[in-house]
Amino acid sequence: MMNIDEFENEMQNVLKPKRFVHTQGVRYTCAALAMAHGCSLEKAQIAGVLHDCAKCYSDEELLDMADKYGITLTKTEVNAPQLIHSKVGAYLAKEKYGVEDEEIISAISYHTTGKPKMTELEKIVFIADYIEPNRRMLECLPECRQAAFKDLDLGMYVILKHTLNYLKSKCDEQETDETTRSAYEYYKDLVKGE
């Protein structure tokens, strides 16, 4: 398996420059969150560098790759193929880039939708993708960043709440992935003690 810097060089070769800058920001933020919450620094950085390794493909290519590799898709993913990059990316991390650690692969797979009962690493990658320093400044970003460094579960809840509110305002609620909704309910109950 390559080391972290080799993975980063590979991503610089396959991703568009703006996407690569985002990837560097996610790696940095994964490292910071891992240090703040006692998670493996190496695993967090590898997952952060590779989280968008399938972002260089078109929607049609992602659908074809999912079919070719036997990746099960939800109805929402078929209707919104941009979500598929996480599952295809997890496959590529394992098969193309030689990542054997299942927790890293799972963190890549769920970095767009989240899910209930995520591991610390899965939460770190999901959160870092949302709050990294190069992200377009959303009104909620300061709150999300503070919550994430205070408590990962609180960070998940706040980000998922804002994500669902955004999706509700921008598109048909039917287009929201069920995994994201169930993740929100799980972290809401966990944080609010319900």
Beta-carbon contacts of residue 69 (< 8 Å; ≥ 6 apart)? 88, 91, 95
Residue-wise pLDDT for 121-156, tens only, equals 999 999 999 999 998 878 899 999 999 999 999 999
Sign of CA dihedral 164, 85, 29, 182: positive
Say how far apart CA 41 and CA 23 lie, in whole Å.
16
CA distance readout (Å), 107 to 100, 116, 192:
13, 13, 25
Residue type at 4?
I
Say how far apart CA 147 and CA 50 lie, in whole Å.
24
Domain ranges of the chain: 4-140
Closest CA to 139 of 113, 173, 162, 155: 162
For residue 138, the model assigns a pLDDT of: 84
Closest CA to 27 of 116, 118, 133: 133
Residue-wise pLDDT for 58-82, tens only, equals 999 999 999 999 999 988 898 888 8
Say how far apart CA 59 and CA 84 lie, in whole Å.
8
CA distance readout (Å), 37 to 45, 150, 158:
14, 9, 17
pLDDT higher than threshold 70 for residue 174: no
Instruction: Output the pTM of the full model.
Output: 0.95
User: For the domain with range 4-140, which CATH number is right: 1.10.3210.10, 1.10.3720.10, 3.30.460.80, 3.30.420.40?
Assistant: 1.10.3210.10
